[in-house]
Structure 1
Amino acid sequence: MLSLLNGLPDRADAVSVAGRVMSGEALLGAASAVADEVAGAAAVAVHAEPALETVVGVVGALLAGVPVVPVPPDAGVDERAHILRDSGAELLLHRIGTAPPAATPPALPVDATRRSATSRPDVTPDHPGLIMYTSGTTGPPKGVVVAHGALAAGIDALVDAWAWTPDDILVHGLPLFHVHGLVLGVLGPLRVGGRLRHTGRPRPEAYAAAGGTLYFGVPTVWSRVCAAPAAARALTRARLLVSGSAALPAPVFDRLRALTGHQPIERYGMTETLITVSSRADGARRPGHVGLPLAGVSTRLVGEDGGPAARDGGSVGELQVRGPMLASGYWGRAGGLPMTADGWFATGDVATIGPDGWHRIVGRASTDLIKSGGYRIGAGEVEDALLAHPAVAEAAVIGVPDTDLGEVVTAFVVAERVAERELIDFVAARLSTHKRPRRIHFVPSLPRNAMGKVQKKSLADRTGTAT
């Protein structure tokens, strides 16, 4: 499988998921047994719950050269049916005793105790490895095809940036159906040769007890770690803390640094590109910034006029990227990724780039670039300002259509004992006045997906608008 497993550690505790441990030898044997059963299939789906069987099933299908379709275990009936139908998966792998609801194609239980020693030739770099379904702004989710070569290139770029070695013990409790938890969090340590300790769920106490050197989390995880100071202080022995999948609020960055002594690494990527930008293990880290392009990656900013946006740290533009870890295309759709005429992938994300090359992600062009009174305002900047207020626990900002201003800056805030006017004035004092929220809605919580990203469409629906 293009050496994605060439670093598989020959250790008794190579992989641990929710307390169940498997050696490198046992994993390879069990995965080979799965490969025997799925060989020749056009694609296989995996019920991607946090379990050893998920790891065995994914690795087994990759060994057999069969594209893997991770299916979220909490997917609704319609979402699951669409993924299975659109991908053409011929089997659905699952843990014994936990067959998903009535499913087509046939369900195949993964027996982690079985072993096989069948040898297979390596696949070619352009052979499809994963088909990962991601929601766009319109229509049903699309299957992003990530080839074996792109998976290897993406992991290797992070090995360089994060000084990732076989001595590292990676700890995380992230879902196994996204790039963060599956590609970085499972295939990463298997390729590098380090150990994986998946905590089942990302509880602070589980992170503290895991004894890792490298920890992955989304901002929600790190916020909860900071709320458990004893667990946070246990992470002082780690080498790196990495945050991704959503913007890490600056107050959480600062709190982590105070409790653990670590400045967390932040990075940027998406399903279609894997990780393309990151701060480095041997370099600086800046709150609110995702760092520099990885080795082999180029980036550029494009303004609304189609020309280059200034790299001055303040001018915003759409981020476009190119590099060896980009996906091949969308499953079942002709051609590759939609690229610009000169060969760049338009991410749909709005960013700034400083004179020194440091990137800051403002947000999605569709939801996080607010055009109000002739100004272009990044939602993330306003959110950071709100989060700096001691009474604010969470904040999300959107633009709501307005007949006078075009859009008005509108905030949804989880906070206690603070008035709307106080927060508006607080932001106006920290940022330009035109960036202040005109309206603030106090809510008990923000709607988030499995990776901790705020679902801003849900917030827009509450205002009677659409994003």
Structure 2
Amino acid sequence: MLPGLLTADPTRFVEVAGRRLTHPELLGAAAQVAADLEGKNRVAVLATMTLETVVGVVGALLAGVSVVPVPPDSGTRELEHFLTDAAPDAWLASAGDDTLPLISVDVDARAPFVEKQVGQDDVAFVLYTSGTTGLPKGVLMSRRSVQAGLDGLAAAWDWTGDDTVAHGLPLFHVHGLILGCLGPLRLGGNVVHVAKGTPEAYASAADPEREGGPATMYFAVPTIWSRLVERPELLSQLSNARLLVSGSAALPVPVFDKVREITGLEPVERYGMSETLITVATRADGHPQAGWVGIPIEGVETRLVDENDAPVVHDGESVGNLQVRGATTFDGYLNRPDATAEATTPDGWFRTGDVAVIAPDGRHRIVGRESVDLIKSAGWRIGAGEIESTLLGHPAVAECAVVGEPDADLGQRIVAHVVLREGFTGSDDLATELVALVGSELSAHKRPREVRWATGLPRNEMGKVQKKRLLP
């Protein structure tokens, strides 16, 4: 699963928060973990941003033991659910509570690596993902799917063992753990986890004097890129990178434009979720465009359908429900055959729950979630996300949320809730200007019927806007 690590090249390394192991050292420490896991089936990993987490996960994978990454800030009820639902045999590296035995990880330990025959269809990870209701569901991700996802991205991004990936992403989800750590190890490259996603930390990975050289690829979420553009003297230090990657949410157009202006590089975006890993990505040799996440990677197919499962035309404008199938998709939800069946079509496609448009050349644009971001107005199917991206391009707009409110004539009317930047005041003239901006950059039928000024937007504990609280 990690052939690049097994070459044990002493010039390659993994670094987390300034602590470093060469590949031979990592392999030796992970081999000791694998030996300690003899007889275990599944372990929970409190996914702190530490070298112990990385060594523990790698050791479990070498041993053929499935991993349940647990967010370090999990609440009592959520933690109890993870442990009851997944039923791990032990905590690995560090404990989230005292209900399970702890298997410690010693990063200084060294043991000979003994290869174990592991089935490619065996579960590598149980990734918990939150839905709109109920407790998180455990996504069963096989070793085969993880490998297919990483190999597909390697092909799309010309990603090789010569690359050094730098990021400061959490280690309990796909972006930070699978892409950001296992990806380089599969290819034989370097990992620099800067521990905190600050502009200073990212710039530190670009230091040409650092041991092993500067990073060539940077992974970040839009929040980090937004903070970097506010520190142009630091962002400019990333100018010598080969690839800047943004994911986990849409990158606002103004941020994309500023990154390009400051670094001379256009960020590439990608799309995926816990159930599918990364399915769509802008290629390294492609033409990045803000808001567009690229084309399907090797081994993946996508399609757009309407509410009756009829095909939606790929014209770059028509909105449909996005469905995915291919080598990277999951094997179902743990202990939830009902949820698995609900998420899967009779002909084997996964219902992502996202709405999107696909251009004639195959490029995808995600415009929101079907449950809250698909607006049906006057016979049109409209994605709230593309309206929000356009509004964020106006210098007065700090943040916004677009919703569809019930309307006797239109079915739903488009309403934009807008938070203004400091120095701007809400007025009828500004509202008219924002509506006109949407009409000029998108289509007339996508213009908000009303703009409402807000001092802030309702968010959950993860920082995501709760649009249902904006509806009447």
1:395 deviates by: 2.4
**Can you list the C-alpha shifts for 1:403-428, whole angstroms capped at 9, x where unaligned?**
66544424242522131534432232
1:186 paired with 2:181, answer yes
State the match for 1:83 in structure 2.
82
State yes or no: 1:456 paired with 2:456: no
Letter in 2 for 1:278: A
Alignment partner, residue 216 of structure 2: 213
1:410–1:438 Cα contact (<8 Å) kept: yes
- 1:350-369 Cα offsets, whole Å, 9 max, x none, are 01011111111111101111
Cα shift at 1:229: 0.3
SS at match of 1:176: coil
Equivalent position amino acid for 1:399 in 2: G
Aligned residue for 1:237? 240
Deviation for aligned residue 1:47:
0.5
RMSD between aligned residues: 2.1
CA shift in 2, pair 1:420/1:41, >3 Å? farther
What pairs up with 1:137-152 in 2 under 5 angstroms? Answer: 137-152=132-147
- Displacement of 1:109 in angstroms is 2.9
Letter in structure 1 aligned against 2:28? G
Structure 1, residues 162-189: CA drift from partner, whole Å, max 9, x if none? 0001110100000101110011001100
Local SS of the residue matching 2:44: strand
Q: Distance in 1 between matches of 2:359 and 2:446?
A: 23
Q: For the structure 1 residues 363 and 277, does the alpha-carbon distance in structure 2 shift closer, same or farther, using more than 3 Å as the test?
A: same
Is residue 348 of structure 1 aligned with residue 353 of structure 2?
yes
In structure 2, the residue matched to 1:421 is: 428
d(CA) in 1 for partners of 2:312 and 2:372?
Answer: 20
Residue 70 of structure 1 corresponds to 69
Note closer, same or farther for the CA distance 1:12–1:80 as it changes in structure 2 (3 Å cut): farther
- Offset, 1:191: 0.2
SS at match of 1:347: strand
2:9 aligned counterpart, secondary structure:
coil
**Structure 2 CA distance, aligned partners of 1:382 and 1:464?**
17
SS where residue 239 of structure 2 aligns?
Answer: helix
2:225 is aligned to: 222
Superposed CA deviations along residues 323-353 of structure 1, whole A, max 9, x for unmatched, are 1111111122349664212221111110101
Do the aligned residues in 2 keep the contact of 1:314 with 1:353 (CA within 8 Å)?
Answer: yes
Whether 1:435 and 2:451 are equivalent positions in the alignment is no
TM-score, normalised relative to structure 2: 0.91
2:8/2:27 contact within 8 Å kept:
no
Farther off after superposition, 382-391 or 113-122 = 113-122
Q: Distance in 1 between matches of 2:50 and 2:9?
A: 20
Letter paired with 1:438: E
Give CA-to-partner distance per residue, 1:243-286, whole Å, 9 cap, x none.
00000111111110000100000111111101111111111111
Change (3 A) 1:464 1:295: closer
1:398 alignment partner in structure 2 = 403
Shift of 1:73: 0.5
1:410 & 1:361 partners in 2: Cα distance? 19
Aligned equivalents of 2:220, 2:112: Cα separation in 1: 35
Aligned to 1:368: 373
Match of 1:60 in 2: 59
2:375–2:403 Cα contact (<8 Å) kept:
yes
Superposition pairs for residues 22-421 of structure 1, below 5 Å?
22-95=21-94, 99-100=95-96, 102-211=97-206, 212-334=215-337, 338-401=343-406, 405-408=410-413, 409-416=415-422, 417-421=424-428
Q: Which runs of 5+ in 2 are unaligned?
A: 207-214
- In the alignment, the residues of structure 1 paired with residue 420 and residue 69 of structure 2 have an alpha-carbon distance, to the nearest angstrom, of 33
Secondary structure of the equivalent of 2:93?
A: strand
Give distance in 2, aligned partners of 1:448 and 1:178. Answer: 18
Q: 1:75 to 1:398 in 2, by over 3 A?
A: farther
Q: Is the 8 A contact 1:424 1:436 kept in 2?
A: no
- Please give the alpha-carbon distance, in whole angstroms, between the structure 2 residues aligned to 1:402 and 1:4: 57
**In 1: Cα distance, 2:435 partner to 2:21 partner:** 55
Cα distance in 1, alignment partners of residues 167 and 141 from structure 2: 22
Greater shift after overlay, 188-197 or 396-405?
A: 396-405
1:437–1:6 Cα change, 3 Å: farther
Q: Taking structure 1 as reference, are residues 379 and 270 closer, same or farther at Cα in structure 2, changes over 3 Å only? A: same
- Over 3 Å counting, the alpha-carbon distance change for 1:39 and 1:440 in structure 2 is farther
| Alignment CA distance shift 1:58-1:8 (3 Å) | farther
Percent identity over the alignment is 50
Separation of aligned partners in 2, 1:403 and 1:53:
58
Residues 386 and 423 in structure 1, CA contact (< 8 A), matched pair in contact too? no
Once the 2 structures are TM-superposed, how far is the Cα of residue 208 of structure 1 from its aligned partner?
1.1
Structure-2 separation of matches of 1:118 and 1:310: 52
Q: TM-score, with normalisation over the residues of structure 1?
A: 0.92
My pick for the range that moved more, 304-313 or 7-16, is: 7-16
- 1:55-99 CA distance string (max 9 Å, x none): 01111111111110000001111111111111011111234xxx4
Deviations 1:4-35 (A, max 9, x none): 55566523551001111111111111111111
Q: What secondary structure is seen at the aligned counterpart in 2 of 1:456?
A: coil
Does the Cα contact within 8 Å between 1:351 and 1:362 map onto a contact in 2?
A: yes
**Matched position secondary structure for 1:119:** coil
Unpaired runs of at least 5, structure 1: none
Q: Which amino acid aligns with 2:183?
A: G
Q: Using a 3 Å threshold, how does the CA distance of structure 1 residues 104 and 228 change in structure 2: closer, same or farther?
A: same
Residues of 1 paired with 2:17 and 2:75: CA distance?
24
C-alpha spacing 1:93/1:414, structure 2 compared with 1 (3 Å): farther
The match for 2:212 is none
- Partners of 1:312 and 1:113 lie apart in 2 by 56
Comparing 407-416 and 314-323, the one that deviates more: 407-416
Secondary structure at the counterpart of residue 275 of structure 1: strand
Structure 1 residues 412 and 33: CA distance shift in structure 2, 3 A: farther
Read off the aligned partner of 1:109 and give its amino acid letter. Answer: S
Tell me by how many angstroms 1:448 deviates. 6.7
